[in-house]
Structure 1
Amino acid sequence: MPGSPSTAAHRLDVPSPNVAQTAGLTAALKAVDPALAADQAKAIGKALSVCQEIKAGKDDTTLADNAAQRFIPLPLFGLTLAGPLRRPRGDRRGRLRGP
């Protein structure tokens, strides 16, 4: 089925997790926040995307930022991963930026 985690893994040249790996990932995500593993297929797809980026050689900061964006729905209530949005000093036009 197009777009399924196993198809995506093949297309990205990243192996699909076996049953034990899937259970381990699901358990680890649930330990952080049960909502992260609410949809197992989506969670596996997100993890496969992270694996593909690792394989592609992306730097650690980019990997962490991209993984957080995949697994954590942001922005929530004006928050960013680095903290609340704030107005740049001297800016009166209402633009906000992250810290």
Structure 2
Amino acid sequence: MPRPITATLHLAAFDNNLQVIRRQAPGAKVWSVVKANAYGHGLKHVWRSLANTDGFALLDLAEAVLLRESGWQGRFCCWRVFSSRRIWRWSIAIS
């Protein structure tokens, strides 16, 4: 019989953790890895709590588009290799 599983995210803790990392590594660029839809928690829901990051590492171009459409203006990188030169050029244009 399946058990209900709940994950509670404390979004304020994300920014706090980011600040702790910055204090430990002053001057370092800190990117947030939120691939696979923020590990199933919802990229659209999570990214604003990490808005002070230097960039986002994402799984694919679809997540990059979602991030842009949600308001992120910073940098990102995608883990997947592009299979089409046209898609690759477009991804450079939006980044």
Is the pair's TM-score, using the shorter chain for normalization, greater than 0.5?
no
Q: Which has the larger radius of gyration?
A: 1
The answer to which structure has the higher strand fraction is 2
Q: Which has the higher contact order (CA 8 A, sep 6+)?
A: 2
